[in-house]
Amino acid sequence: MDASCPTVFISYSWDGDEHKRWVKDFADQLLSDGINVVVDQYDLSLGDRLPQFMEQSITDADYVLIICTPLYKEKADKRTGGVGYEGHIISDELFNHHNERKFIPVLRRGTFETALPKFCAGKLSIDLSETPFSQEQYHDLLTTIFGKKKKPAIGKKPSTVGNFQKNLDQEEAIHILGIITNEVTIPKMDGSRGSALYSVPFQLSKTPSGLWGQIFVAIWNSPPRFTTMHRPGIASVIGSKIILNGTTIDEVKNYHRDTLLLCVEEANKKEQEIKERENRLKEQEEKPKQQHFQHVSDLADEINF
């Protein structure tokens, strides 16, 4: 096989003379467009072993074009004839090597529901069922084979729209689910100072980052609003829990609940602000690199060897 251009193997069923002629003409078109096509009508000779030809061709090809018709689907799904044997090979590559993009369904007859075999279910396909077939669809196939699909670079947002607001980690902001009652500790009650106080843990909706934990503790120690019964220095964040070590359940109910909610909300906001600032700095640092590589890519496409 010619290593200087992409190689495709055409898998199809012998639906009749007209279909075989279409496959041959399709192969000729691909060949004229710089693709090394492997198809039985050109590459199989009398005396060749069919299983070996199929296995070698599918394995060596950069892409396998599966010409889908209702008859192809029937033979592939029932594993009958040469199509059925090729179906075994294709299914094995999909399962063991996960080469999803190597196998491209090409609709020739019927619909995607009636013509695509089970091993192609859900795959994005090319529709060449019209006569003559769609040049737009055919060009899309060529750009896929040659690896030249390219989407434009992201531009600047219009000044008339606001900034995109992203939630922390693209997920719901952290919130308190409740008190972990079976982990509330027992007070010493030995008459010493603070012996009536104990530890109360609160379950968070997810494990926060270390940054969030630091922010929360700092805000708890000096919250924007608090009662005269507020206790700085008792809060910590361990794993997915907030722990107030040195309070009572009564104080939580009467005083600390609102302060906890306020501190969690503020920690969410401040962490998001810090992340957004870091992302802006990172984008500023990455922009010259992206422009450089885009420039290299653009010019490389124009240089032929």
pLDDT tens, per residue, the chain with 305 residues: 456 799 999 999 999 999 999 999 999 999 999 999 999 999 988 888 888 999 999 999 999 999 999 999 999 999 999 999 998 888 888 777 777 889 999 999 999 999 999 999 888 899 999 999 999 999 999 999 998 766 777 777 776 776 666 554 445 789 999 999 999 999 988 889 889 999 999 999 999 999 999 999 999 999 998 888 999 999 999 999 999 999 999 999 999 999 999 999 999 999 999 999 998 888 888 778 777 777 777 788 788 77
Quick one: 216 and 129 in the same domain? Answer: no
Quick one: 180 and 141 in the same domain? Answer: no
Q: Are 63 and 93 in contact (CB under 8 A)?
A: no
Q: Which tokens go with 215?
A: 């922010």
Quick one: 195 and 90 in the same domain? Answer: no
Rounded distance between C-alpha atoms, residue 155 and residue 85, angstroms = 49
Last residue of a domain, one of 129, 145, 161: 145
Quick one: 65 and 126 in the same domain? Answer: yes
Residue 256 lies in a domain: yes
Q: Are 173 and 209 in contact (CB under 8 A)?
A: no
Q: In which domain, by residue range, is 73 found?
A: 7-145
Quick one: 131 and 223 in the same domain? Answer: no
Quick one: 130 and 186 in the same domain? Answer: no
CATH number at residue 61: 3.40.50.10140
Last residue of a domain, one of 110, 130, 145: 145
DSSP string, the chain: --TTS-EEEEE-----HHHHHHHHHHHHHHHHTT-EEE-HHHH--TT--HHHHHHHHHHH-SEEEEEE-HHHHHHHHHT-HHHHHHHHHHHHHHHHH--GGGEEEEE-SS-HHHHS-GGGTT---EE--SSSPPHHHHHHHHHHHTT---PPPP-PPPTTS-PPP--GGGSPPP-EEEE-GGGPPPP--SSSTTTT-EEEEEEESSPPPHHHHHHHHHHHHS-SS--TT--TT-EEEETTEEEEEEE-HHHIIIIIHHHHHHHHHHHHHHHHHHHHHHHHHHHHHHHHHHHHHHHHHHHHHH---
Quick one: 214 and 275 in the same domain? Answer: yes
Number of alpha carbons in the 13 Å side-chain half-sphere of residue 135:
1
Residue 123 lies in a domain: yes
Quick one: 236 and 135 in the same domain? Answer: no
Residue 161 lies in a domain: no
Question: 50-60 vs 81-97: helix axis angle to the nearest 10?
Answer: 40
Side chain identity, residue 207: T
Quick one: 199 and 136 in the same domain? Answer: no
Quick one: 133 and 201 in the same domain? Answer: no
Rounded distance between C-alpha atoms, residue 87 and residue 82, angstroms = 8
**What pLDDT is stored for residue 24 in this prediction?**
96
Residue 138 lies in a domain: yes
Q: Are 183 and 286 in contact (CB under 8 A)?
A: no
Quick one: 41 and 135 in the same domain? Answer: yes
Residue 152 lies in a domain: no
178: Cβ–Cβ under 8 A, 6 or more apart, which residues? 202, 203
Residue 154 lies in a domain: no
Q: Which tokens go with 274?
A: 């810090």
Residue 151 lies in a domain: no
**What pLDDT is stored for residue 184 in this prediction?**
95
Q: How many CB atoms lie within 10 A of CB 108?
A: 25
Residue 268 lies in a domain: yes
Quick one: 92 and 19 in the same domain? Answer: yes
Q: Which has the closest alpha carbon to 88: 44, 125, 123, 58? A: 58
What is the domain count for the chain? 2
